[in-house]
Each structure stands twice: as C-alpha cells, then as structure tokens.
Amino acid sequence: MEIRRTDKPWTEVEADWLIVPVIESTDLPAWLTQLDQALGGIVGRLKSLGDLTGKLAGTLPLRGITGIGASRILFVGLGVAKELTLARLDKALMTASRMISDKPETRVAFVVPSEAIGTVSPEEIVTAATTCGMVGSLGQDLFRTERGRHPFACLQIAASGPEAALDAAMDRGRILGQAINLTRDLVNRPPQEITPLGFAERARTVAADCDLRIEVLDQQRLEQERMRSMLAVAQGSPQPPCMVIVEHNGGGPNAPRLALVGKGVTFDSGGLSLKPTDGMLTMKCDMAGAATVLGAMSAIARLKLPVNVVGYMGLVENMPGGSAFKLGDILTARNGVTIEVLNTDAEGRLVLADVLSYAVDAGVDRFVDLATLTGACVVALGEDVSGAFTNNQSWCDTVLASAKATGEDVWQLPMWDLYEDLIKGDVGDIKNTGGRWGGAITAARFLQHFVGGKPWVHLDIAGPAFASSNKPHREAGATGHMVKTLVELARRFAT
C-alpha cells in the first residue's frame, strides 16, 4: 500500500474516497466550510436535514460528486468533540476504512483538520488514520478466491501544518499498522502452516527486516536448558517445539531490560484432556501471545525506541499423540519447581513457566507476559477486555496507563494469597489447575512461581485476541489487540 501525506487543499486531493470526520455539534465545524462551498453547500444542507449527525462511528457516503478532486466522500462521526478519545477515534476510523475496502484498487484520502478535536491532536489523528487505513482494509479471508476486503491501493493523509511532526506521526501510524497486521496474519494463518518451526521461520524474516537480533532454541537446546515443563506439552505432537528470542538493544549496555513473553501454542487440542470440537475450533489462535510479542517487537525496532527490549516466544503444539504427557505426571520445571499435571489442557502455564524462568536467568529486569491463557478470563471480563495480574502494583500501573493511553481495554484482577491454596500440590509443589472457580487468577498465581520475584504483569488476552464475529469497526478473527499497548509501554520504559 502506498502511503503518503499531502498538503494540497482537501478539495483538490484526488481519490476514490475522501474520508471526512465530522463532530456532533449544532453548527458545521469550521474545517468543513471550504469543502461545503466547493460542493455547492450540500454539506450544510445535509446538516440541516439531520442526515449528518456526527454521532460516533456513524457514516454517510456521498457518491458521484463533482466539483472536488475526489469522486466520493465518506463522512464519519467522531461524536462530541470534548468526549473524543483515541479509542473512539479508532472505532470511527476503523468503521470508515472497513466500509470502503470492499473493492480492489481503491485510492483513499483521510482528511485531518489542522486543529485539535477536544484533547486529540492533529498528529494523533494522522497516526490513527494511517493505522486504521492499513488494519481496517485487511481481512481475515487470506485464502478466499474472491476476497471481501482489499488493502487500499493508495492511502493519502491530507494534513497540513508542522511537516516534521506530521510526517513522524504518519510513520508511527504506518509502523503500528504493519505490526498489528503482522500479528493478525500470524494468528489468522492455519495451524498446519504456523507450527512452532513455521512461526520461527516467519520470525527470522521479520527480524531480518526490522534489524532485530534473533536466536531460535531448538528442541535439543530446550532439553539442555531443562525446560521439561514446556517440553512435556510438546510430547504428544510430531511437531518439534522451539523458543524464539528477539532482541532490540536501543538503550545502551547499562540500561534496564524489559522482557515481553508470549504463549505460542500453535494449536491447542487440549492434549489427552481433549477439547470438544466447539472449543477446539478457534485454537489456532493460541499462539496469539507470541504473535503479539513479535508484532510489538517489530514496531519497537522500526521506531528505533531508545530502550532495551527482549521478546521471548515459547512455541509448541498441544496434541494427544501416543507419547503425550499424562494426567498425574509430575514435571520438574526449569527452576526446580515440581508440577502435578491435573489437566493437559492447562498447557499454556506449563510453557510460560519455563520461558519466564529462562528470561529471569538471562537477567531481565521487568516482565510482561501475554497469553490466551484461560476461558475463565473471558467469562469474567467478556470478549473485548484483557485481564491483568501482577506481583508489583506500580509496574502494573505503568502497564495499565499504557493501555489506557492507547485506548485498549484491560482490567486488573486480584492476586490475593488465598488463591494460592487452590493450586497447592498433593504430590508435587503445585498443581496445573486450581479447579473451577477463579480460574484466571489461579493460572496467574501459577505463573508467579516462575518470575523470581521480579516486577511482572501477566495479561490474559484469551477474549480479545481473536474475535468471534464481525463488527462494523473490526474484522472477525485475529485483532492485534495489545500490540499498541506494548509499544507504548516500551516508549515509557525508555524515559
């Protein structure tokens, strides 16, 4: 997709669609007067007829127009100006971009007013328009002969003002769009392609493109590292496991290091605790944590953030083959903790256990892990919200603030000691499930045994990582949820 900024007057920008934001207000916003005049006053008439309300994410297409460079206009509502947030802006611009991406070879221009709308600056609008143009026009129908959605042929950002700042905002938007689409692509691809080694191969390409250091630990190395908890999960599959480590050293040798750790179960059948078909149907998405880490790392590197960040991705397939691990097995994790297996479908925590302890020993200072870890978290918070869990409130506050700043929804759940009783082992140190109640929390408490007391936040993305249905503002399938938050977190980590 060709992406560029133009400072031509909006009336002269040539495009198949000109996307024009409007707000909920009594008068026509000042930025629309010139366009209104060029169109013979139709914008004003639509406003007085009540057709142009400006309500959040409401759209009004105008086709076959003359008098301006574009042949169609799509008005999109941003709601009340002083209530505008980045999350609302995203919703509106994603809706617009999805609406007009049903045909191939479309040339699109986003209009960006040169004044702030409420508290949202023109630069922020430029970034959002660029990202939404890229993410909204890409579908999950990767293998359909006739695609329902088509990436724009050309995306122009019609914004004039401080050139360097606007261009930087557009680059940022482009990098975020690329990262989110990378994460979505990895998750949307079928599990026959994205096996542990298939994922690692993609990671190598990404690392080369973004100038990330990469290391892939194969099964033999994992055995040398005594990662027996993770290896147990891989036992039932003919696909060998691996761990991908990518590194961005932008902060100098003495700066602290941030670890992003991702669950990469490339397919979760449940193992011997086999899932029923309905529950297994979307389990190609169980590597979304790893895909989110790789997406975020690609953006952190491309943005050249002055910070040291390492991404760790634990990749396995959970299958019920003849050599599968069994209920009642006792696993000795890399850090010596013994784990009693009560359910082979609680495999994500077994993978993360060893990956976290590897990162601890590598001397990383702070941790965030991302995992499609529990159905219980989806029951608790719904499909659109991630759960946060921590052993360090101030570090968690930083993560939550980063999420809030980018408009992604995350809600913290408690980690009280009373939950620990639920995972206390009878034969080994801990059990890999805590029973029916509080399942998202007992899973997090399990992980806490492997972070060596370092500041750590666990994000359970089981709900939002993979959407079950289309909405006007987002495609079903992989969402790329949390990529932006991680990039924002890395930015804050630097300062």
Distance CA 429, CA 448 (A): 13
Where do runs of H (alpha helix) occur along 286-406? 288-302, 348-361, 375-381, 393-406
Query: Binder to Zn ion among 124, 268, 317, 475 (CB under 5 A)?
Result: 268
Q: Rank residues 301 and 430 by Cβ distance to ligand BES and give the closer one.
A: 430
Distance CA 193, CA 142 (A): 13
**If 0-12 CB within 10 Å is exposed, 13-18 middle and 19+ buried, where does residue 11 land?**
middle
Q: What are 40's two structure tokens?
A: 């013979």
Q: Rank residues 136 and 387 by Cβ distance to Mn ion and give the closer one.
A: 387
Select the span of 142-150, 254-262, 325-333, 371-379 touching ligand BES (CB under 6 A).
371-379
Counting contacts by CB under 6 A, is residue 169 touching ligand BES?
no
Where do runs of H (alpha helix) occur along 263-302? 277-280, 288-302
Counting contacts by CB under 5 A, is residue 268 touching Mn ion?
yes
- Catalytic-role residue among 47, 202, 284, 349: 349
Angle of the 288-302 helix axis to the 163-188 helix axis, nearest 10: 160
Q: What are 353's two structure tokens?
A: 């256990």
Query: Binder to ligand BES among 298, 374, 391, 448 (CB under 6 A)?
Result: 374
275 catalytic per annotation = yes
Q: What are 174's two structure tokens?
A: 């482009």
474 DSSP assignment = B
Q: Rank residues 187 and 364 by Cβ distance to Mn ion and give the closer one.
A: 187
Counting contacts by CB under 5 A, is residue 408 touching Mn ion?
no
**Cβ-contact 257, 307 below 8 angstroms:** no
Query: Binder to ligand BES among 44, 321, 375, 425 (CB under 6 A)?
Result: 375
Q: Cα–Cα–Cα angle for 235, 236, 241, nearest 5°?
A: 50
Site residue total, Mn ion (CB under 5 A): 3
Q: Taking CB under 5 A as the criterion, which residues in 298-357 touch Mn ion? A: 345, 347
Counting contacts by CB under 6 A, is residue 101 touching ligand BES?
no
Q: Cα–Cα–Cα angle for 274, 278, 280, nearest 5°?
A: 45
Q: Taking CB under 6 A as the criterion, which residues in 436-495 touch ligand BES? A: 439, 462
91 catalytic per annotation = no
Residues engaged in binding ligand BES (CB under 6 A): 268, 286, 343, 345-348, 372-376, 378, 433, 439, 462
Residues engaged in binding Zn ion (CB under 5 A): 265, 268, 286, 348
Which positions are annotated as active-site residues? 275, 349
Residues engaged in binding Mn ion (CB under 5 A): 268, 345, 347
